[in-house]
Structure 1
Amino acid sequence: MIEMEEEKEGEASRLINSLISSSHSVRSFPAKWHSMRDKLEKLNSGLTAVSTSTSTEETGRLSELLQAVTATVNEGRSLADRCSNEYYDGGKLQLRSDIDVVVSRLELHSKRLDEIYASGGLTHSRSIVLSKPGVRASRDDMRLYVKDIFSRLRIGGSELRCRALASLNEILSEEGDDDKKYVSIVAGEMADGVGLLVSLLESGDLDTQEATSEAVATITGFECYRGVLAPAGAVGPLIRVLETGSEVAKGSAGRALRRMTANSDNSWSVSAQGGVTSLLKLCDDEDGGASCKELIASVLAVLKDISRVGEIKRFMVEQGAIAVLAKLLRSKEEANQIQAMDFLAALAFEDESIKQRVVGEGAVETLVGILQPDSRGSSKAKEVALRAIETFCFTSASSVSILIGSGFLDRLLFLLRYGEVSVRESAVRSASRLCLVSKEARKAMGDLGFMPELVSLLEARCFEARETAAEALCSLASVRRNRRRFVQEEHNLNRILRLLDPEEEKPVAAKKLLLSALLALTDSNSARRRMVASEYRKNLEKLADDDFGDAKKIIKRLSSNRLKDILYGIWSS
């Protein structure tokens, strides 16, 4: 009896495969034949795993189903012949209707087979996952292997399903950018392949959910196949895995969502599924674990991606995003800390109300703390903190006052003196920009001794750093008391004059800025006398000859001052 049923199942499967193959050559009604192939694939997956029945009643139901399947498939074969021969007996409308009937019957057969499995009447003694094809296997062998895996996923029990998922993850993890055959079969060729994985994301079985999350995350690693997941309904289940799944499943789901939201088209899907609230809650529940560190990194990336949509950004802020991110600034995990700083800066960009709320949450004091000399923060963390401070505080006088009161200038000066090269370059940019927005800051920076440090940076290897330092010096020189203090140390003027050597490679913009600073300094008698006496005065003269306007003005003032000195000497004799 068992052998007879197996023969019937084998015959039905053979007929199905034959019809699938021949249908590809049919040119009429392509959409309808595509739908029929999907139904045939699904049905064949179920039949492939049929083994034995534990009861006479179920054996009879299975035998009856196999007969019906065979009849329907034979009818489909007849329709394929009629379409191929363009013999439209009864007209196109009738033929179209006949195809729809066969498609409906195939769907009904699949449901009946599912019912038989659900009743527990079938066992899976033959349901062993096929051996993985070798490296040089044909595309057909690879496709057959994937189909076999998915047949077990559709009708197998928990143990069999986990074995199938393990095999699936094994072949997917071996894929590379240049060789993604298995991914293309799963995501592009399998009938409802991605849809089945999406449904398994919400499995109550922990192992199944973890393995499925890993498979989905792997597929999202291939940019060309990310687009099939959102239409298959993956966003909602992934969010629910993040809410209630195991740590392993959450990590995979987070990576998958992170990759999917790199495409802004998926932003609304996340928001519509309640993702904003759920993701913010995950960030607020940081516990410091290694898995939590990775998860929060993914969640922050997702939130930042979807915040590019204005309406979602506003909703995010209303849901308390700023307070959550301000809390993350104090995270023990530097990676999360950096992402939070970067994300907050992105939210506050060109939005004064958000900047004020960030300042109000105490974020400025936290950021300044990251710049402390005894801070364990890396150079990267300090650079990101400086950029964030610029975003939050450099556009408002009140925010600048808060910033100065927090000890920021002391930290900034320390970084200019002792910071690593990249940090010093970031610090000089911050110093230059702060000079441009606040006279109060320019005065305080002059009092603290910023100008000599900026002069030393005029000899930095990076041309951009030199130019930025020159720009900051020019701004600070606009304050009279800064000029007086600067002139008191003779070597400051000499260093600037030496750096104006026309023969030395230096950006023209930097030279012009230094000339502007020197021009401002010439309102001091002692500065003019020192310039006249300097051995590097010839550099000014050469620049004047090269038509640098400020150089000519400086030479004129110095010449006038020298004439006055000569006359004063005559009158005094």
Structure 2
Amino acid sequence: MGEDSVEESTRVSIKRAIESISSLISLSHSIKSFAVKWQLIRNKLEDLYSGITSLENLNSDFDPSLSALINAILGSLEECHGLASRCLDVSFTGKLLMQSDLDFMSGKFERHVKDLSLIYSAGILSHGFAIVVSKPSGKACRDDMRFYIRDLLTRMKIGDVEMKKQALIRLNESMVEDDRYMKIVMEISEMVCVLIEFLDSEMGIQEEASKALFFISGFGSYKPLLIRSCVVGPLVRVLENGNVVGREASARCLMNLTENSENAWSVSAHGGVAALLKICSCGEFGGELIASSCGVLRNLVGVEEIKRYMIEEDMVSTFIKLIGSKDEIVQVNSIDLLSTMCSTDEESREILVREGGIQELVLVSDPNSLSSSKSKEMALRAIHNLCFGSVSYLNALLSGSRFLDHLLYLLRNGETSVQESALKVTSKLCSLPAEVKRIMGNAGFIPELVRFLDAKSLYVREMASDALYCLFSVPKNRKKFLQEDCNISYILQLLDQEERGNERSDLGNTKFLILILMSLTSCNSARRKISASGYMKLIEKLAEREDTDAKKLVKKLSRNRFHNILGGIWHS
């Protein structure tokens, strides 16, 4: 028989094998007996189907070993059809014998899949095609989707490097586009193991496998399975030796996995901390990789031993330098890491101050800096968490910088989230000794705080009210506020709005407004204005409701009215 005849005969055999496998898979779904055994056989048949369908597009000569394998597969398929018919008709002689026959058949198909894999990996087949199987439409049934994923898995197992890579690309595309594919992937027990094995493979395959595991790690319910499958060690090896894309995906995957602090030791045990610190210290890596590495370390610093190691390696200085990065994500993640690291550790906080970390945070908050709103928000949060522990920290914040100018500008003009963070810092500063309060009053903070008294957020209204109450403990600030006649009237109007509802469901700022009025009554002019206003009945009504602060205010105002009456009698 000539070569053309052999090739044609093999092509016919391949077509027969594809049709036979398809028929057998369909038939197996109707079999009620030995359901678990038939599920195992069906999985092997699906692997075999994927491997053989690829051969239909083969554009090279057929090797004799392939022809022999196809003939052996046809023989096994015919034998399996006989077993399927007997199980369907329940015409077998004994259950134990049939179970043995089914196990033997499953083993045969497993060997055929391995033999086909060897032929692919040995390079005997050269193919000029990528993945030819079509992805099911968006309305496809679950069985079609599952078959597609199993087909990709088979190509990962038996294909050469390019076929494996293309299968991984298709897998990642599917998981990103439709969560249903993610669920199917996780139902196929061997899929995660194959992906983890690929982390130690060639760069292209390693990169796509890292991406796939990152996608999976984004689902909280799947994280325990990844940990049980020992994914951390291979991910750390990718961090150490992979290309940039693979390292980024690996770091992001570890960031997801270490959100549960119990996994921190696993990363440390595999040398992950040293690998992450090296990335953060090296200037040659891109922003995404450094930022993700900071994110992982942020999750790890809760472990005291890991934090101590980072301090001993002088990493606080390194993270301070990263605050000055031009990449927003590096700025945000490095600030978050430092804030977490230093907020509960005095030694690292002292290093932060000594190495100029506070000044770097102030520079980020500068309205004229190129830092994004998110970076400014994170810088203000860090200042709020770190700078109020001692006089030296406050001196570092306020001395030689224009931080109060920055803060005032952001209160006036910042985005909502930035304004709220700026207000938190302002409120904290207002609780400091009188000298700081005088400076803030002179700087123009009082009008800005008054503006926030009518904010939609109750939390914001309370912060602004509390800050004003603190500032008004300084006589000069009270006088400055009372110079505008409308200010007292505005506070009284707000108090009335709180009581009337003002169409808001989150009322509750009444207490703070009363406290502001209390602080202002130290001035005779304020007492007169409140007593002469049309809001006295409202204040008396609040006092009748057992509001202690309102009672004190009424008492103070009544004393003032009594003195006014006596004064009138004395001068009459």
1:462 is the counterpart of 2:465: no
Pair 1:358–1:125, CA change in 2 (3 A): closer
Alpha-carbon distance between aligned partners in 1 of 2:261 and 2:16, rounded to the nearest angstrom: 48
Return closer, same or farther for 1:239/1:83 CA change in 2, 3 Å cut-off: farther
Q: Paired residue for 1:110, among 103, 108, 113?
A: 113
Residues 495 and 510, structure 2, Cα contact 8 Å, conserved in 1? no
Aligned to 1:382: 376
User: Does residue 505 of the first structure (1) align with residue 503 of the second (2)?
Assistant: no
CA gap of 1:539–1:429, structure 2 versus 1, over 3 A, is farther
Q: Does 1:329 align with 2:328?
A: no
In the alignment, does 2:434 pair up with 1:433?
A: no
RMSD: 4.6
Matched, 1:372 2:366: yes
Tell me how far 1:462 sits from its aligned partner.
Answer: 0.9
Query: SS where residue 449 of structure 1 aligns?
Result: helix
- Name the structure 1 match of 2:276: 279
For residue 538 of structure 1, the aligned residue among 528, 533, 536 is 533
Q: 1:329-348: CA deviations, max 9, x gaps?
A: 22222332123323443455
Q: How does 1:306-455 map to 2 (within 5 A)?
A: 306-307=299-300, 310-311=302-303, 315=306, 318-320=309-311, 322-347=316-341, 358-359=352-353, 362-396=356-390, 399-400=393-394, 402-405=396-399, 407=401, 410-411=404-405, 414-415=408-409, 418-420=412-414, 422=416, 423-436=418-431, 438=432, 440=433, 442-449=434-441, 453-455=445-447
The share of aligned pairs that are identical, in percent, is: 32
TM (norm. structure 2) is 0.75
> In structure 2, do the counterparts of structure 1 residues 445 and 128 end up closer, same or farther at CA, with 3 Å as the change threshold?
closer
Range 259-268 or range 324-333, more displaced: 259-268
Aligned-partner SS, 1:319: helix
Distance change >3 Å, CA 485–CA 471, structure 1 → 2: closer
Q: Alpha-carbon deviation of 1:350?
A: 6.0
Deviation, 1:400, is 4.1
Shift of 1:444: 1.6
Matching of residue 472 in structure 1 with residue 467 in structure 2: yes
Query: How much has 1:387 moved relative to structure 2?
Result: 1.7
1:556 aligns with 2:558: yes
Cα deviation 1:509-554 (Å, max 9, x = unaligned): 545434434434555xxx22x2355487325633443222132122
Match for 1:293: what amino acid? Answer: G
- Tell whether the 8 Å contact from 1:451 to 1:476 is kept in structure 2 after alignment: no
Selected match of 1:23 from 9, 24, 28:
28
Cα distance in 1, alignment partners of residues 420 and 128 from structure 2: 68
Secondary structure of 2:497's aligned partner: coil
Contact 1:130 1:148 in 2 (8 A): no
Give, as a single letter, the amino acid of the residue that structure 1 aligns with 2:27.
Answer: S
- If the length of structure 1 is used for normalisation, what is the TM-score? 0.75
Residue identity opposite 2:479 in structure 1: V
Distance between the aligned counterparts of 1:75 and 1:345, measured in 2?
68
Query: Structure 2: 5+ residue runs without aligned partners?
Result: 1-5, 500-506, 544-549
CA deviation after TM superposition for structure 1 residue 386, in Å: 1.8
1:500 is displaced (CA, Å) by: 1.5
Q: Where in structure 1 are there 5+ consecutive unaligned residues?
A: none
Match of 2:40 in 1: 35
1:145-179: CA deviation from partner (whole Å, max 9, x where unpaired):
66665555444444555555666666666x346xx
Query: What code does the residue aligned with 1:472 have?
Result: A
Map 1:298-309; keep pairs closer than 5 Å: 298-304=292-298, 306-307=299-300
Q: What does 1:37-436 align with in structure 2 at a 5 Å threshold?
A: 37-50=42-55, 59=64, 61-62=65-66, 64-81=68-85, 83-84=87-88, 89-92=93-96, 94-120=97-123, 122-125=124-127, 129-130=131-132, 132=134, 152-159=155-162, 161=164, 175-176=177-178, 180=180, 187=185, 192-193=190-191, 195-204=193-202, 206-211=203-208, 213=210, 236-254=233-251, 273-287=270-284, 292-304=286-298, 306-307=299-300, 310-311=302-303, 315=306, 318-320=309-311, 322-347=316-341, 358-359=352-353, 362-396=356-390, 399-400=393-394, 402-405=396-399, 407=401, 410-411=404-405, 414-415=408-409, 418-420=412-414, 422=416, 423-436=418-431
Which letter does structure 2 place at the counterpart of 1:432? S
Contact 2:44 2:109 in 1 (8 A): yes
Contact 1:39–1:103 at 8 Å: present in 2 too? yes
1:2: which partner in 2? 7
Q: What CA deviation, in whole Å up to 9, does each residue of 1:259-302 have, x standing for no partner?
A: 66678887676555544443343333345x7xx22333444445
Equivalent in the alignment of 2:479: 487
Q: What is the CA deviation profile of residues 416-453 of structure 1, one whole-angstrom value per residue up to 9, with x for unaligned ones?
A: 775436344433332223444x4x3x432224426963
Structure 1 residues 462 and 4: alpha-carbon distance in aligned structure 2, compared to 1, 3 A threshold: same
Partner of 1:516: 515
Residue 47 of structure 2 contacts residue 151 of structure 2 at CA under 8 Å; is this kept in 1?
Answer: no
SS for the counterpart of 2:533 is: helix
Q: Evaluate the alpha carbon distance shift between residue 558 and residue 136 of structure 1 in structure 2; reply closer, same or farther with a 3 A threshold.
A: closer
Aligned length: 543
Give the direction of change, closer, same or farther, for the CA distance of 1:444–1:6 in structure 2 (3 Å limit): same
Q: 2:496·2:538 contact (CA, 8 Å) conserved in 1?
A: no
Quote the Cα distance in structure 1 between the aligned partners of 2:201 and 2:397: 51
Deviation at 1:484, TM superposition (A): 4.6
* Distance of 1:97 and 1:134 partners within structure 2: 36
Q: Is the 8 A contact 1:88 1:95 kept in 2?
A: yes
